Amino acid sequence: MRGKVTIVGAGFVGATAAQRIAESNLAHVVMVDIPQKEGPTKGKALDMLESAPLMGFDSHIIGTSDYKDTSDSDVVVITAGMPRKPGMTREDLIATNTSIIKSVIEPVVKNSPKAILIVVTNPLDAMVYAAYKLSGFPRERVIGQSGALDSTRFRSFIALELGVSMQDVQALVIGGHTDVGMVPLASHASVAGIPLAQLLSTQQIEKLIERTRKGGTEIVELLGEGSAYYAPSAGVTQMVEAILLDQKRIIPSAVYLQGEYSVKDLFLCVPVILGASGMEKVIELKLPLNEQEMFKKSAELVRQTVGQVRL
């Protein structure tokens, strides 16, 4: 029996995530957006559904503005929010997107009280904190999608630099989902089991780390309007798959830390095991001193951002 996934926000990230999830036959999908966008939301859903015979999937997709259609969802992915424009930081979106999160959490919780929430809206670490506080859900069921995206960017850049298959690259990014707070872990990056430090110079690695931190900004500047959606939707799909199929996959995600990594009462990205219960375990890594310091500074920056959230 297929599960049910609701995508809140039928923009580029939401619609692309809905398409990926449906085409993977993971779940039936409901895209929900504001009443003013009900027509386009239904149109996108119908368009996706009509591709099913060609793409070989049987998942149903509907578009709606009525949260009753989302009832009893297993996973709810929140993508709704204003995207960045060139010159904007993620933190510039706090007031507007906090208001949007407040407007969607109540109907989501009312209709799917047992769901696992995956928050994508920026600034991620602050918005997932807002969703956690407003929903009243346990921390295991409120997760931010950041590390899956940031890590795939790091992996991609490493593969491009070395000219190797992207499938052979393993790398993690932890910390805040910000240009300055992101912590790509060079110490834990490898290619087919070979430590990255044996393949690239310190200078090359530093350039890859910096590009990873500014990966989202690079795309925003290139697009000129809107922000990334192909890689973010792929990250969402990976997380949804791990949860619905109870895969126990280790995926870096923003979770509410309660003493892990010496951080308390704050959402930060760390490696976690994702399964049917949501966040099932935090993996605490042994980090070299320089990465410990970067993580500590990241926590301080995120705490400042969260302090601007008004619920």
Which residues are identified as catalytic? 177
For residues 302 and 181, give the distance between their C-alpha atoms in angstroms, rounded to a whole number.
8
Q: Report how far apart, in Å, the C-alpha atoms of 275 and of each of 29, 46, 149, 176, 278 are.
A: 19, 30, 18, 23, 5
Instruction: Please answer whether residues 174 and 270 qualify as being in contact, where contact means their C-beta atoms are separated by less than 8 angstroms.
Output: yes
Q: Is the dihedral of CA 91, 270, 232, 31 positive or negative?
A: negative
> What separation, in Å, do the N-terminal and C-terminal C-alpha atoms of the chain show?
38
78 exposed, middle or buried (CB, 10 Å; 0-12, 13-18, 19+)?
Answer: buried
Q: Which two tokens stand for residue 199?
A: 């393949």
φ and ψ of 149, to 5 deg: -75, -55
Instruction: Please answer whether residues 182 and 213 qualify as being in contact, where contact means their C-beta atoms are separated by less than 8 angstroms.
Output: yes
For residues 254 and 267, give the distance between their C-alpha atoms in angstroms, rounded to a whole number.
6
DSSP one-letter code for 117 = E
Gyration radius from the chain CA atoms: 19
For residues 294 and 300, give the distance between their C-alpha atoms in angstroms, rounded to a whole number.
10
